[in-house]
C-alpha cells in the first residue's frame, strides 16, 4: 500500500524554511585550497558558501578543467541574500567570472 501523499504548499514552505534555517554557510576563507585572489573577490561580492547536510568537510568549491583541456578553473557556489549561483573563475582569474543558475527563495512559486 502506498502511504505517500502530496504535500500541501504550506507544508512544503515550512520544510523549505526549516532547511534554510539549518543550512550552514561558510566564508570563502574556510577553503584553504582556494587562491587568495578568489577568496578576496568572493568576500568583496558578499558570498557565503552553503554546505549540504551533513557536510563532513567544506563543499561546493571545485577546481577542474572546466573551460578546456589543460586550463584549470574554479567553480564556487556563492550565496548572497539567500540567492545562490555558481561562479566560474576561468584560469583562476578573479575578473569576469561566469555566473550560472541564480536561484533562491524568491524563485519559489
pLDDT tens track for 7-39: 788 888 888 788 777 788 999 999 999 999 999
> What is the Cβ-side half-sphere exposure of residue 78, based on CA atoms within 13 angstroms?
26
Cross-strand bridge partners of residue 80: 83
Residue ranges per structural domain of the chain: 9-102
> What is the Cβ-side half-sphere exposure of residue 87, based on CA atoms within 13 angstroms?
26
What phi and psi values does residue 92 have, to the nearest 5 degrees? 75, 15
Q: Are 85 and 103 in contact (CB under 8 A)?
A: yes
What's the pTM? Answer: 0.77
Distance CA 14, CA 102 (A): 22
Amino acid at each position: 500500500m502506498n502511504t505517500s501523499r502530496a504535500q500541501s504548499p504550506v507544508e512544503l514552505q515550512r520544510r523549505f524554511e526549516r532547511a534554510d534555517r539549518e543550512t550552514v554557510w561558510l566564508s570563502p576563507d574556510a577553503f584553504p585550497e582556494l587562491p587568495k585572489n578568489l577568496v578576496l573577490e568572493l568576500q568583496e561580492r558578499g558570498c557565503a558558501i552553503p554546505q549540504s547536510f551533513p557536510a563532513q568537510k567544506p563543499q561546493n568549491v571545485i577546481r577542474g578543467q572546466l573551460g578546456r583541456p589543460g586550463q584549470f578553473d574554479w567553480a564556487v557556489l556563492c550565496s548572497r541574500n539567500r540567492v545562490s549561483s555558481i561562479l566560474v573563475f576561468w584560469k583562476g582569474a578573479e575578473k569576469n567570472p561566469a555566473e550560472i543558475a541564480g536561484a533562491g527563495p524568491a524563485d519559489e512559486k
